[in-house]
């Protein structure tokens, strides 16, 4: 599955820097065990699933991915805080998170800075995450799929690319990480249409909505008709294709990190199944993967994580 034009554009973003986020070039960041323990607590408090999955990683990598999670979690919390200068606070957090400003004793920033340096994580990836979150504060929607894909890259695929540096890999798995990040964020968007509307946001591309005869009134009133179902079928198929295109990248990851990434891929892709089971009515309840279904997927996750790379396409 070769890279499409929009994927090629995102690969260029992933490989290039951003002059606003070049890092500080100062002293090497240091962190204490207490700083990393704080990141552990943040991770456990906000995502028990992620916290449990990362227990499978060796200690140094586990500390690193939880520091990354905590850095991203704080950025998300700033965006969600009501009132005040959210953009200013977010950009200040981004400057400190890329080494362009001091951490001022913040345990998350210290742990993340040490992780960033230890694993050679490119600062422009963290900067692109902050930029995408900042741009979404003034949400105006997306005209077409490449525009939405770029947003998904900024808020999700950048995190996958940074995680990939911590987990370790061979070859060049960036395209697969981008596909997985975009697929997972698109899944979030399809699942959370109603919640996003309540927050004043519609992420579905206007071009796609017009193609299938869907209007903002569908979203506002929670109308599920044939036009809505056709649009959702199209977007679900797009997400599934991205998941399929991401799977070969599992074989390029270091062996001790494959299970966690494979679990994320398989579990998130099954949210699409639940959307279909609901006949695309994402307004009446939040699509999810039930606990017993998650348990039943574990053998599949393990099998796919351990298969030779040539069998993963």
CATH class of the domain comprising 139-313: mainly alpha
- Give the mean model confidence (pLDDT) for residues 20-45: 80
Residue 223's pLDDT band, with cuts at 50, 70 and 90, is: very high
Residue 222 has pLDDT above 60, yes or no: yes
pLDDT digit string, tens, across residues 180-204: 999 999 999 999 999 999 999 999 9
Residue 116 has pLDDT above 60, yes or no: yes
CA distance 274 to 281: 10
Residue 84 has pLDDT above 90, yes or no: no
Residue 298's pLDDT band, with cuts at 50, 70 and 90, is: very low
From 109-118, 221-230, 260-269, 299-308, the region with the lowest mean pLDDT: 299-308
Give the CATH fold of the 19-122 domain: Farnesyl Diphosphate Synthase (1.10.600)
Residue 139 has pLDDT above 90, yes or no: yes
What is the location of CATH 1.10.600.10 in the chain? 19-122, 139-313
Residue 26's pLDDT band, with cuts at 50, 70 and 90, is: low
pLDDT digit string, tens, across residues 28-39: 788 999 999 999
Structure tokens at 127: 């900067």
Residue 264's pLDDT band, with cuts at 50, 70 and 90, is: confident
Residue 294 has pLDDT above 60, yes or no: no
Residue 18 has pLDDT above 80, yes or no: no
């Amino acid at each position: 599955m070769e890279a499409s034009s929009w994927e090629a554009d995102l690969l260029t973003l992933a490989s290039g820097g951003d002059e606003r986020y070049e890092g500080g070039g100062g002293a090497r960041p240091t962190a204490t065990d207490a700083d990393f323990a704080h990141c552990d607590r943040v991770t456990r408090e906000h995502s028990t699933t992620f916290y449990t999955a990362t227990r499978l990683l060796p200690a140094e990598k586990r500390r690193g991915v939880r520091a990354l999670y905590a850095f991203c979690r704080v950025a998300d919390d700033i965006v969600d805080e009501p009132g005040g200068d959210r953009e200013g606070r977010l950009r200040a957090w981004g400057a400190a998170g890329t080494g362009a400003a001091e951490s001022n004793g913040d345990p998350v920033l210290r742990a993340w800075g040490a992780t960033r340096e230890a694993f050679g994580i490119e600062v422009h990836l963290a900067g692109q995450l902050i930029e995408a979150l900042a741009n979404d504060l003034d949400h105006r929607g997306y005209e077409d799929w490449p525009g939405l894909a770029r947003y998904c890259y900024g808020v999700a695929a950048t995190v996958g690319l940074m995680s990939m540096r911590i987990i370790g890999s061979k070859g060049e798995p960036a395209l697969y990480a981008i596909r997985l990040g975009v697929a997972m964020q698109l899944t979030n968007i399809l699942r959370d249409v109603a919640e996003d509307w309540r927050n004043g946001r519609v992420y579905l591309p206007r071009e796609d909505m017009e193609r299938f005869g869907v209007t903002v009134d569908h979203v506002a009133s929670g109308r599920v008709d044939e036009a809505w179902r056709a649009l959702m079928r199209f977007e679900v198929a797009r997400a599934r294709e991205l998941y399929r295109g991401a799977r070969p990248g599992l074989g390029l990851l270091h062996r001790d990190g494959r299970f966690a990434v494979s679990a994320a891929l398989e579990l998130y892709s099954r949210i699409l199944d639940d959307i279909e089971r609901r006949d695309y009515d994402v307004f009446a309840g939040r699509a999810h993967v039930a606990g017993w279904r998650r348990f039943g997927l574990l053998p599949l996750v393990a099998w796919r994580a351990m298969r030779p790379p040539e069998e993963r396409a």
